Amino acid sequence: MRASAKPKRLVRWLLVAAWALVIFGLSSVSGSAIASAVSRHPVLGIPSFLFHVVEYAVLAGSLVLATDWRPPAVALALALLLACSLYGIGDVMYRRFVPGRHGEPIDWVADTAGAGAAIATISVVRRRRAQADVVDAR
């Protein structure tokens, strides 16, 4: 591994860790604080399902970046999806202990769906880019 690649890889994994901490921090906010924020800022009234999808799409995207995953490595793609899904289960369980919050299975479904959508989208984009590179090389 080149010396310059090591710092890049470390930064990528730090981004994964930082985003996981953001998710944890958001899950730590009490239910009353969320209700207060939504009443002051109606745009925050977006269904929580969408927030979960976006949170975990970003987590999956950062994991793809950190691992430098490229299609068609299906086993790694499934491992990344499993990692995000397991983190989502932990997040749902944790929220059961936060005052005014509750962890619902639908939240985990949204987490896993967001991660899966991100991995699938990245897969399609990278495959198309690879195909375009082959065509351009001819």
For 134, which DSSP code?
Answer: H
Whole-prediction pTM: 0.86
Domain ranges of the chain: 5-137
Q: Can you read off the two tokens belonging to residue 84? A: 């995000």
pLDDT band at residue 31, thresholds of 50, 70 and 90?
confident
Within 8 A by CB and 6+ apart from 23, the residues are 55, 56, 59, 87, 91
CA–CA dist 135, 131 (Å, integer): 6
Residues 94-111: tens digit of each pLDDT: 999 999 888 899 999 999
- Would you call 138 helix, strand, or coil by DSSP? coil
